[in-house]
Structures are given as structure tokens and as C-alpha cells.
Structure 1
Amino acid sequence: MNKLQDQCDETCEGTLHIAELKQQLISESTAAGLADIFKALGDPTRVKIIHTLLQQELCVHDLTLVLEMGQSAVSHQLRYLRNLRIVKRRKVGKTVFYSLDDEHIEQIFVQMLQHMKHE
């Protein structure tokens, strides 16, 4: 049985040394925030909501019709996405309209869609 090795068999030829890579490593809070965003994208219902809002801003009622879901379930998912700053809301009278928070969310989503379609 071979023992696990603590070192590479050969000298690595990387351009940055371990110390430099450690200095450039993202913070724990940034890593956790990014993981939360990807976790949000791990739910098919939330993905459908994001995809729908990519097309246009909609109120909760219209989202329930598109997704064929109850208003409570859609509102719950929108609240989750809003807390992560993936979607934002705009109130007009009693009606609340939802849209994607900014173009970064749109770009991430479109890039992932293109990746999924790429063969």
C-alpha cells in the first residue's frame, strides 16, 4: 500500500508561488456569498423565475400564471432571490413588479445557458 505524499513528485512549473496564490485567495465572506448565489441557481423553480425575468419585468400574479404555481410559493422564491440581490422589486400602487437586479445576474445566467447548450 502506497503512503499518501505531502509533496508533488515533480517540481511544479506554475507562474505563481503558493504564497502569492494564498494572498490572492478570495475572503471567506466573498466565497460564502458566491456559493449562496450558485446555491440559488441550484433550484429549478428559481432558475425558471430568473429565466422569465430575463425576458421582462413581471408582477407576482403574472409570474404565477407563467410558472403555473401558487402565489405563496412564487413569493417565497422571490423573497429568497431578493435577499441574495438576484432580483429587485418596484412598487406601483399595490402592485409589485420584479426584475433582475442588474446586468451581472443577466450575464451569469446567459453564459450558463450558453454553456449548457454548447456541445
Structure 2
Amino acid sequence: MDDTIKNEDRCALCEVNHPHPERIQYALTHKLDDETSLRLSELFKVLGDKTRIKLLSLLVVEEEMCVCDIAQLLNMTQSAISHQLRALKQSKLVKYRREGKTVFYSLADGHVRTIIDQGMEHVAE
């Protein structure tokens, strides 16, 4: 083994070149295609913003909220909240319904709640 490789990197290298064809074949049949990996990376980009995460977590707690309530809770302008909601709506993470002049936002589906809940569980460990 090359002595220039750091000790902590050595554990990531195979000491012997001994492929496992059955594992390779299984992985090949289950790996993500380009379109799916692109869509998933876009989802994580949207989730990579702390304001959007805070907003989604509010919608986990309070199932439906209007822009003015979210703005007050996050101490932001309604315009800034609307901008974040637009990004979340385009990514199909939130949906809305109109009641008169008020628009109420909620999580698009149970998957979004699961993503947030599992993320919270993971960071709490």
C-alpha cells in the first residue's frame, strides 16, 4: 500500500482486489438513474436552507398556516416567506388552499412529514 495515504484513509481501501459479482450485479440493478438522482439532489438543495426547514417544521406542528402567521413566527416579512413558499411549492413539498383572501399552506403529503421527522430524529441522536 502507498505510504503517502493517510492512516485514516487506509480503512476505506480494499487490501485485496476481490470483487463480489453478486453485490455488484444487485447494486447495478438498483442504482439510481440520472433523472432520479437529479430530482433527488434538487430536493435536497431545497431542503438545504434553514429558513425552509424552519417553515416546514412549523407545518409539521401546525398542519395549516397562512403567510402572515408564518412570517410572525419566523420574524420575517411576508414577502420573504412567500418567496420561500414558492420554492417549496415548486418542489412539491407544500400545497395551498384559498379561503376568501387568505391562503393557507400545508405539507404536500405524508412523505414530507416523514422526511422532517426522520431528519429531526437523526440530528437528535
**Match 1:108 to one of 110, 115, 122:** 115
The alpha-carbon deviation at position 33 of structure 1 amounts to 1.0
User: Could you list the runs of 5+ residues in structure 1 that have no partner in the other structure?
Assistant: 3-7
Aligned residue in 2 for 1:46:
52
3-state SS in 2 of match to 1:91: strand
The alpha-carbon deviation at position 16 of structure 1 amounts to 2.0
Distance in 2 (alpha carbons) for counterparts of 1:93 and 1:78: 19
- After TM superposition, the structure 1 = structure 2 runs for residues 1-119 of structure 1, keeping only pairs within 5 Å, are 9-13=16-20, 15-17=22-24, 19-56=25-62, 57-118=64-125
Distance in 2 (alpha carbons) for counterparts of 1:15 and 1:92: 56
CA 1:82–1:39 in 2, change beyond 3 Å: closer, same or farther? same
Q: How many residues are paired up?
A: 112
The alpha-carbon deviation at position 14 of structure 1 amounts to 6.5
Distance in 2 (alpha carbons) for counterparts of 1:95 and 1:68: 19
Matching residue's letter, 1:81: L
3-state SS in 2 of match to 1:47: helix
Distance in 2 (alpha carbons) for counterparts of 1:99 and 1:77: 13
User: Could you list the runs of 5+ residues in structure 2 that have no partner in the other structure?
Assistant: 3-13
3-state SS in 2 of match to 1:69: coil
Identity of aligned residues (%): 39
Distance in 2 (alpha carbons) for counterparts of 1:58 and 1:79: 15
TM-score by length of 1: 0.85
Q: CA RMSD in A?
A: 1.8
The alpha-carbon deviation at position 93 of structure 1 amounts to 1.2
TM-score by length of 2: 0.81
